[in-house]
Amino acid sequence: MPAARLKVLAHTQKLKVGHFVVEFATPGIGYMLKNAGCDFVLFDCEHSGFHNETIKSILRYFEAADVPVIVRVPSREYHHIARALDMGAEGLMVPMVGTAEEAQRIVNSVKYTPQGARGVALGVAHDHYTGGAVLDKLAAANERTTLFAQIETAEGVANADAIAAVEGVDCLWVGHFDLSASLGIPGEFDNPKFTDAIKTVHTAARRHGKAYGRLVPDVASGVDLFAGGFDFICYSGDVWVYQAALTQAITAIREGCTGEAP
């Protein structure tokens, strides 16, 4: 069975830095992130439009480059969760987790018996098409799969402690934009309502020994949020990094050649 790398990362509070892939599902992307020093990649299927064939291919690219992958599925539905896992997702991020009951249903979809009720498929992508004793393989898969529950609603914040207490949830991950919108303050990340919510989720994660993660837009935010208790720091996304670097370079060339900004 493949190694349980994300599980090991999630069970420490040391810094883990990764990147968000929402656009560039290209064969070389795994090696690019590996050579950049990423500890993990968050591969988005909620807002990107990526479908199953793309997920299956991209997981092989990241496996080849030895980069642990968290796949964010589009919903809490069983078929989204189980398919991503069968295709080889080591980490699974599920959006809009609002209650402990929802978290437990997700765990039941993620884990094989006796920890859950995931449909059994062995000798396929998630176990590298290998054979072996059934009970050993089920136990290994249960150990390897790592669950990231997104807290991105006022309901999720109110129930953060109960969600964190669910066995099988490995990390509480703040969806900052959706959370601010749910609180009625879209994009106001300095608003006390938002910062108080962040503190509540952080307290819940630490009380139950769970990891704590978030996407960050820039380096300064990443440094500040790590100091504030986040240990999974996902730096920006492929499309925004590309746009920013290209804009900076094109602008500099125009200014250097013509003396005029675009």
Q: Which residues are catalytic?
A: 47
| Residue 12 vs residues 5, 72, 145, 211, 238: alpha-carbon distances, Å | 12, 21, 16, 7, 26
Sign of CA dihedral 41, 42, 47, 52: positive
3-state secondary structure (DSSP) of residue 1: coil
Cβ-Cβ contacts under 8 Å for 107 (sequence gap 6 or more): 115, 116, 147, 166, 167, 168, 169
Which 8-state DSSP code applies to residue 125? G
Please tell me the chain's helix, strand, coil percentages from 3-state DSSP, rounded to the nearest 5.
50, 15, 35
3-state secondary structure (DSSP) of residue 237: strand
Cβ-Cβ contacts under 8 Å for 167 (sequence gap 6 or more): 107, 115
